[in-house]
Structure 1
């Protein structure tokens, strides 16, 4: 106990001349005292929230906290900044599959997800123009239909949808993100449908397509077709690269990629 009635640690550094007396005889502190917690908080803040060993080593220069490592860890476990910087991502719990993924007894592309990707540079004479790809993904059978768009607008998507229906049949529901070309499509088709004559409307009533949009600012939705776009881009960049090619070449390669994706097995083969 020193002259100020502070309990200090004795040691074998009494003959050290270059050390301060506080380093030779550090003050003993109770680990559960509020003053000790404030002291740890101050050191942790000044050191920008490092690991417990770093904070403990710095405190040991002047203070000797009984069970000091445990006290530092206990404080950092409740420190908001330490928890934020050292937090590990939590794996979210998988939700149930949506009904569109469970149309087991429906034809292919009955429930379809769609999205655009690109742009790609194509040669048109001596100039280059942009083209975008569009993917239609069967949510049940996992089939893929790829096509090219000249522009990212409503009319270009309408033409791509008509080509898709001519090749694959009319889907019952379409799922997409909040793209402006898709969002404009939702309002135009009902208006055109309502303008048809009653007889023609009655014939087309069975082919009416329901549109479902993902919530805005929700990139975790639509993972079924987003993952397929990654496979398409990988195959395109491996084959074509970043160089501009004629539109006919790009369309041909895109259809070949479609054939490769549609030929993959639905599950792993197990040999007996």
Structure 2
């Protein structure tokens, strides 16, 4: 099992500094006497586990860019965005890159630090984004419990998704004790808004704490308190390695392999040779390019079966 990726350890950084994203749906909404399909998009902070949910009117690059602008306006510009290779994500990344290249050199130098780094997982590898795929499962369960299969208006769908966002951000990150004397567990809301539940009223300061410096100091102490609990009670739980204890050799260039394709019968799975490998930060190969005839496929190691070498 690999070490935790850097995106999971952006400690003392703003929430959503490293963000994973994906789309889900469609859902049917009522518009007058007709119905339309709407999709949802989820942004998940890979460090604090906080989520941001929005609605997409279409699965195209324009709708994604509009959702990205709303996200950055509310949660700040992320350092990196990680997703699958959806056409809307790829198209949005291309448009942003082309717009940046068209700017004057002075503006490029000024905005260089604010560029978002897009990272795409290999095809047929949903486990690369398991962090937010599991959150989509929780979201769909909540949607099924609230609206079921009925068609609702756009306002109802948007309101339910925002309320589900609050529920997901209120989930405890660690162990919850039944003893009332024990400390409350850290939740994503603790790091987003300074309190574990968004429904609680804001803190009321006494008259002696109205000096701005003292209030700023109080907020800083509170933020440090939450981060200390995050590091002490939640982060150690991510370090356990329960699987893949054995050490196996990495796949090499030139190895004959079979590509696993669940949409085809096993007898028709393509066979080719590894033309390029992509080691991770720990030096282990987890993605490779396989050349089958004149085509080249990028696949994760979990979708590749190594075959005995074929003599030519």
> How high is the TM-score relative to the length of structure 2?
0.56
8 Å contact 2:10–2:47 — kept in the other structure?
yes
Matched, 1:198 2:97: no
3-state SS of paired residue (2:74): helix
Matched, 1:230 2:137: yes
Q: Are positions 1:157 and 2:64 aligned together?
A: yes
User: 1:100 — aligned with what?
Assistant: 7
Q: Deviations over 1:80-103 (max 9, x none)?
A: xxxxxxxxxxxxxx3221111111
- Give, in whole Å, the separation in 2 of the partners of 1:260 and 1:204: 35
Give the ranges of 4+ consecutive aligned residues of structure 1 lying more than 3 Å apart after TM superposition. none
Between the aligned partners of 2:44 and 2:111, the Cα distance in structure 1 is 23
Of the three residues 117, 120, 123, the one matched with 2:30 is 123
Q: Distance in 2 between matches of 1:229 and 1:164?
A: 18
Which structure shows the higher strand fraction?
Answer: 2
Deviation track 1:228-253 (CA, whole Å, cap 9, x = no partner) reads 00011111111011111000100000
| Match in the other structure for 1:133 | 40
Q: CA deviation at 1:146?
A: 0.1
**In structure 2, distance between residues paired with 1:197 and 1:243:** 51
Aligned residue for 1:266?
173
Q: CA RMSD in A?
A: 1.1
Give, in angstroms, the shift of residue 185 of structure 1.
Answer: 1.8
> Could you tell me how far 1:269 is from its partner in structure 2?
2.8
Q: Equivalents in 2 of 1:104, 1:242: separation in Å?
A: 40
Runs of 5+ unmatched residues, structure 2:
183-312
Contact 2:42–2:53 at 8 Å: present in 1 too?
yes
Structure 2 counterpart of 1:251: 158
State the 1:130 CA deviation. Answer: 0.2
Query: CA–CA distance in 2 between the matches of 1:190 and 1:128?
Result: 35
Which deviations, in whole Å up to 9, do the C-alpha atoms of 1:159-215 show, x marking residues without a partner? 000000000000000000011111112211111011122333233222100011001
State the structure with more CA Rg: 1
Match of 1:13 in 2: none
Cα-to-partner distance string for 1:39-58 (whole Å, 9 max, x where unaligned) = xxxxxxxxxxxxxxxxxxxx
> Offset at 1:263?
1.2
| TM-score for the superposition, normalised by structure 1 | 0.64
* 1:155, distance to aligned residue in structure 2 (A): 0.4
SS at match of 1:222: helix
The equivalences for 1:1-272 within 5 A come to 94-270=1-177, 271=179
- Deviation of 1:219 after TM superposition, in Å, equals 2.1
1:20 alignment partner in structure 2: none
Question: Is residue 126–residue 133 contact of structure 2 (8 Å, CA) maintained in 1?
Answer: no
Q: Distance in 2 between matches of 1:262 and 1:218?
A: 26
Distance in 2 (CA, whole Å) between partners of 1:263 and 1:202 is: 40
Q: How far apart, CA to CA, are the structure 1 residues paired with 2:109 and 2:166?
A: 36
**Is the Cα contact below 8 Å between 2:21 and 2:83 reproduced in 1?**
yes
* Partners of 1:253 and 1:203 in 2: CA distance: 40
Deviations 1:94-141 (A, max 9, x none): 322111111112110000000000000000110000000000000000
Please say which of residues 197-206 and 248-257 is displaced more in the overlay.
197-206
